[in-house]
Amino acid sequence: MAVPKAEVMKKRAEYRVPALEKGLAVLELLAASPQPLSLMEISRQLGKSSSEMFRMVDCLEKSGYLYKSPRSGTYRLTLKLYALAHAHPPIEELLRAANVPMQQLALSLGESCHLSVLSHREVLVLVESPSPQKVRVSVEAGARLSPVFTVSGRLLLSLMPPEELESFLASCEDFCQAGRRKQQEILRTIADVRERGYSEAPSEAHPGILDLAVPVGDAHVGMVAALAVTRWEKSVRPLDRAVVLQAAQDCARRITEDLGLNHNQLP
């Protein structure tokens, strides 16, 4: 017998863990604060009483997540969260999360797909899931590509804050060697990609190939990658583009959620 959706949502709401929620709220508050906070300040900003928050803050301090100044009595985060985060290398976690969704994407579309990140002013292809077709387009893992002349590169550049993007392009050899007109064209393309939320264009390096890339991860925490689907341009119909885009976005969302990140925070 199926359980009504409303009842399922109600059950989920009942599974709250108030103490854990308070602890996480304290950590997030201190992470966002530019200076240490007293127990009274923590309580006030979280809308709780000092007596209610004392045991939680005390527990976090004894567990090594907070440091209490012996002089001012204020609290700040220690490096324990940083150490925990770096116990799992981000690229390894990204590859683990992407493995199955990318294989399923390649099988469902009958097209190859690959995952890339920015590395040392280049686009580095981390992994590829090949098409099951005998004749297919392939981009090998380990390949290094131009950040301004590839769909994946322009997508990753579009996710950068303006000042970071300006600094990146100022030291990007491909961009600096392009003429003034080409540079303006690149900047307009990056702006268009930022507005659309995805990047699609014929390959500049390989005529006849059409690339589409969507973002994976969360730009706010510095974990961002480009998931790209590569196809023969002549075989793509208008309807196919919408199907491929939706499938790629669904795949990117699955990877992002598996990483514990918020896909909606991507620009």
Residue 216, strand partner residues: 225
CA distance 171 to 104: 38
Q: Name the least confident of 26-30, 59-63, 205-209, 256-260.
A: 205-209
- Res 189 pLDDT > 70: yes
Determine the Cα angle at 246 with ends 243 and 250, to 5°: 140
Domain architecture of the chain: domains with CATH: 14-85 (1.10.10.10), 90-265 (3.30.450.40)
pLDDT tens string 117-140 = 998 889 999 999 999 988 788 888
- pLDDT tier, 204 (very low <50, low <70, confident <90, very high otherwise): confident
Q: Name the least confident of 64-68, 117-121, 178-182, 201-205.
A: 201-205
pLDDT of 8 reads 45
- Res 186 pLDDT > 90: yes
| 232 contacts 137 by C-beta, under 8 angstroms | yes
Three-state DSSP state, 225: strand
* Per-residue DSSP letter, 233: G
Q: Average pLDDT for residues 146-162, to the nearest whole number?
A: 95
Which is nearest to 263 in space by CA: 224, 210, 212? 224
pLDDT of 258 reads 93
pLDDT of 107 reads 95
**Per-residue b or e along 222-231, where b marks 16 or more CB atoms closer than 10 Å to that residue's CB:** ebbbbbbbbb
Neighbours of 85 (CB within 10 A): 10
> Is the Cα torsion angle 127, 116, 200, 179 positive or negative in sign?
negative
- Res 11 pLDDT > 60: no
Q: Average pLDDT for residues 229-237, to the nearest whole number?
A: 79
What is the percentage of the chain residues whose pLDDT exceeds 70? 89
pLDDT of 82 reads 75
Neighbours of 121 (CB within 10 A): 15
Which is nearest to 135 in space by CA: 230, 226, 241, 212? 230
- Beta pairing, strands 144-145 & 209-218: unpaired
pLDDT of 190 reads 97
pLDDT tens string 56-90 = 999 999 999 999 999 999 999 998 887 776 666 78
- pLDDT tier, 36 (very low <50, low <70, confident <90, very high otherwise): very high
> Which uninterrupted H or E stretch holds 241?
helix 238-258
Q: Average pLDDT for residues 3-29, to the nearest whole number?
A: 72
